[in-house]
Amino acid sequence: MELMILCTDLANTFKRSWHSGPREFDSINDFERETLDDDDDDDDDDDDESLDSSANRGPIGGPFEKEKILRTALVAVSKRMGESFYCWFNLGLMYFRNQVYTKAKEAFKRCLDCLKGYKQPLKLINEKRYVTLEARVMSLHAQCCIYELTLPGMVATDEHNPVDVQEQFIQATKTDNMQPDIWNNVGLLHMSLDKFDGAKMIFQPILMNFTQYNDAISNLGLSHLCNGELTDAARSFQTVILRDSSHLEALNNYGVLLLRHRNYKNAIVFFEKATQKPAIELDPGQSYVWSNLACAYSAEGKLNEAARAFRQARELDDTNVQATCNLAHHITWMVQSEADPEARARKLEQAEHMYSTVLCDQSSSVQAWTGLAAVFKSQSEMATSEEKRREYKELALEAFSLAIEADSSDPVVWSQMGMLCMGEGDYKNAETFFKNSIEKSKQIRNVHPILATYCNLCVTYQLGEQFAESNSLYQKAITHFKDSYILYNNLGNLYRQMSKFDDAHKAFDLCLRLKPDYAIGHNNLGLLFIAEEKFVEAKVELQTALAIDSGLDCAKSNLLKLVELEKRRMRGNSGKQPGKS
């Protein structure tokens, strides 16, 4: 059976599922690839001075050398003309775009000081121009206070208090109330604190006065999305995309919404559009779009395309922890399809190295610890000696314990602990861990219990021959995931094991009606026909499974067994013929 992890990046509300582990038995209880991938949408204003947690990391406005020359020139001018507010403004903007937030904040503060010194002459010359610039600089200064906390080793001070930061934004709006991007940043501040209802109360008045402000509409949609209001979120994203087909955040977040509906094919369309010109030219450093595209490819079974997209995400931003973990997850998952033991070992070592790199910078990364534990578990299953197997198992347990220590409320960790126990035949502890995972997921706002956890707990009951409990839980899971063909496949396997063949047929019919090209479903329906001794129908289903997926080992094995069974039956029948004559 395949195992699934749902990983969450707290910075970008990014959710990613992946699978690892062995397939036990030729009858497969499979899980939904429920890739939920949504990134926090921090929109750019007209000059790209946005409250953006994923600000550009590459060259801004040209090749790196030109940028370096421009920065050197601005620093030189600031030393020679210390009272030039435009010089400090442009220098601060350059630092801001390169995520050097402390220096950017200092430059914006110097700009404000210079503006105060020029206040009277400027008011006489062009009051509106002065007011607009001052409000913009105040807003940028507040944004720097927020983003300083994203820098490694930065410790929060009174200056970073969200109340004080909001007050800076409010002061900027009092200076110039006709800049919607400032109010937009106030809304984003609320979103960063998970106060989505408050954010909506800010975005809605903005749109009453600035009806064409697409960034606010997109962020309003994101607030709806984070609140689980998917219909309202879809309406907002669609409105923006219809007005501006290259709006990067709207394209990305609408793709995320489609992933939540498991509409992977259409999600790929919008993610691909976001990575094409002119959308990506507006924000070339946003590697999370490529990472989301890779997740969609992976869920659709396009593994090579997924690998290329993950690598593109890494190239755009090699410090993107989420993209690194996702690529490591993808490599771990691809190990299952690798026939060469040495190649499997190399890939697992590569994934282990990636996770270790992340943990060197972020020792409390739950996603990295959980992924590393899964790598150790896979290495344990591949070990050729009992000593090595035991060693990797202990490493896996240690990594899981560190993940729980980092965040005991993460349902994914508990689910993976359950998978480890289930693989060892410890069904009692596996049951406890899976139940913990379901309870933890219920405590997280707008997060349904993970489908894989439901499936795994059902399989645990099934392996422990607690058929009634397994059946009851499948029925409960279907109320949460009514369109999951995976659940109906697993339920059909349970009914077959219980010899309830009519109920099993109904379950498999629903499974294949939802996904006609589901090779594993056809394989398991073939097993049901074998149990009913309907060998002709069984052969048709197994051949259909192989026509869909020629590499499905369980179908190959079952077809060979069926042919051998038919031969034995024929020999047996031929042996009885003389006695009848």
| Domain CATH for 463 | 1.25.40.10
Verify that 182 and 103 share a domain, yes or no. Answer: yes
State the pLDDT confidence band at 539, using cuts at 50, 70 and 90. very high
What average pLDDT does the segment 372-393 reach? 86
Verify that 329 and 240 share a domain, yes or no. Answer: no
Q: Are 182 and 172 in contact (CB under 8 A)?
A: yes
Dihedrals φ, ψ of 47, to 5°?
-110, 20
What average pLDDT does the segment 512-520 reach? 91
What average pLDDT does the segment 331-350 reach? 79
pLDDT at 29: 41
pLDDT at 195: 85
pLDDT at 153: 62
pLDDT over 80 at 550, yes or no? yes
Say how far apart CA 220 and CA 226 lie, in whole Å: 10
pLDDT over 60 at 35, yes or no? no
Looking at 376, 397, 418, which one is the last position of a domain? 397
Kindly state the helix (H) or strand (E) to which residue 231 belongs, with its residue range: helix 230-243
What average pLDDT does the segment 568-578 reach? 65
Share of the chain above pLDDT 90, in %: 15
Verify that 404 and 341 share a domain, yes or no. Answer: no
Looking at 397, 417, 446, which one is the last position of a domain? 397
State the pLDDT confidence band at 131, using cuts at 50, 70 and 90. confident
Instruction: With respect to residue 23, please indicate whether it lies within any of the assigned structural domains.
Output: no
pLDDT over 60 at 47, yes or no? no
Instruction: With respect to residue 24, please indicate whether it lies within any of the assigned structural domains.
Output: no
pLDDT over 70 at 374, yes or no? yes
pLDDT at 182: 85
- The DSSP-derived string for 78-144 is HHH-TT-HHHHHHHHHHHHHTT-HHHHHHHHHHHHHHHHHTHHHHHHHHHHHHHHHHHHHHHHHHHH
Verify that 422 and 469 share a domain, yes or no. Answer: yes
pLDDT over 70 at 49, yes or no? no
Query: Which 3 state secondary structure label does DSSP give 49?
Result: coil
State the pLDDT confidence band at 510, using cuts at 50, 70 and 90. very high
Residue whose C-alpha is closest to residue 492's, from 518, 480, 424: 518
Instruction: Report CA torsion sign: 494, 496, 502, 508.
Output: positive
pLDDT over 60 at 31, yes or no? no
Alpha carbons within 13 angstroms on the beta-carbon side of residue 443 total: 10
SS3 content of the chain, % helix, strand, coil (to 5): 70, 0, 25
Neighbours of 199 (CB within 10 A): 26
Alpha carbons within 13 angstroms on the beta-carbon side of residue 70 total: 16
Token pair listed for 410: 């993460």
CA 539 to centroid of chain Cα atoms: 39
State the pLDDT confidence band at 418, using cuts at 50, 70 and 90. confident
pLDDT over 80 at 369, yes or no? yes
Say how far apart CA 530 and CA 524 lie, in whole Å: 10
State the pLDDT confidence band at 91, using cuts at 50, 70 and 90. confident
pLDDT over 60 at 120, yes or no? no
| Total domains present in the chain | 3
Verify that 293 and 256 share a domain, yes or no. Answer: no
In this predicted model, what pLDDT tens digit does every residue of 353-368 receive, in sequence order?
Answer: 888 888 887 888 888 8
pLDDT over 50 at 50, yes or no? no
pLDDT at 541: 93
Query: Which 3 state secondary structure label does DSSP give 20?
Result: strand
pLDDT over 60 at 575, yes or no? no
Verify that 178 and 311 share a domain, yes or no. Answer: no
State the pLDDT confidence band at 500, using cuts at 50, 70 and 90. very high
CA 292 to centroid of chain Cα atoms: 7
By CB atoms closer than 10 A (0-12, 13-18, 19+), residue 377 is buried
pLDDT at 151: 65
Instruction: With respect to residue 52, please indicate whether it lies within any of the assigned structural domains.
Output: yes
In this predicted model, what pLDDT tens digit does every residue of 201-242 receive, in sequence order?
Answer: 989 888 888 888 898 999 999 999 888 888 999 999 999 999
Verify that 442 and 392 share a domain, yes or no. Answer: no
What average pLDDT does the segment 404-421 reach? 84
pLDDT at 264: 86
pLDDT at 119: 54
Q: Are 368 and 361 in contact (CB under 8 A)?
A: no
Q: Which comes out higher in pLDDT, residue 207 or 100?
A: 207
- How does DSSP classify residue 219? H
In this predicted model, what pLDDT tens digit does every residue of 167-203 receive, in sequence order?
Answer: 888 888 888 878 888 888 888 888 878 888 888 998 9
Verify that 179 and 69 share a domain, yes or no. Answer: yes
Q: Are 476 and 484 in contact (CB under 8 A)?
A: no
Give buried/exposed letters for 378-389 (b at 16+ CB in 10 A, else e).
Answer: bbbebeeeeeee
Domain extent for 526:
398-580
Structure pTM?
A: 0.61
Q: Which comes out higher in pLDDT, residue 116 or 558?
A: 558
Instruction: With respect to residue 371, please indicate whether it lies within any of the assigned structural domains.
Output: yes
Residue whose C-alpha is closest to residue 306's, from 8, 19, 10, 30: 19
Verify that 393 and 426 share a domain, yes or no. Answer: no
pLDDT at 98: 76
Query: Which 3 state secondary structure label does DSSP give 473?
Result: helix
Highest mean pLDDT among 62-66, 277-281, 326-330: 326-330
Verify that 419 and 543 share a domain, yes or no. Answer: yes
Instruction: With respect to residue 323, please indicate whether it lies within any of the assigned structural domains.
Output: yes
In this predicted model, what pLDDT tens digit does every residue of 288-325 receive, in sequence order?
Answer: 888 889 888 887 878 788 888 888 887 877 777 777 88
Verify that 99 and 225 share a domain, yes or no. Answer: yes
Verify that 248 and 155 share a domain, yes or no. Answer: yes
Instruction: With respect to residue 22, please indicate whether it lies within any of the assigned structural domains.
Output: no
Looking at 252, 276, 300, which one is the last position of a domain? 276
pLDDT at 5: 23
Instruction: With respect to residue 478, please indicate whether it lies within any of the assigned structural domains.
Output: yes
To 10 degrees, what angle do helices 303-316 and 321-334 make? 160
Identify any residues that bridge with 3 across adjacent strands, giving them in sequence order. Answer: 20
pLDDT at 357: 83
Say how far apart CA 553 and CA 226 lie, in whole Å: 40
Instruction: With respect to residue 73, please indicate whether it lies within any of the assigned structural domains.
Output: yes
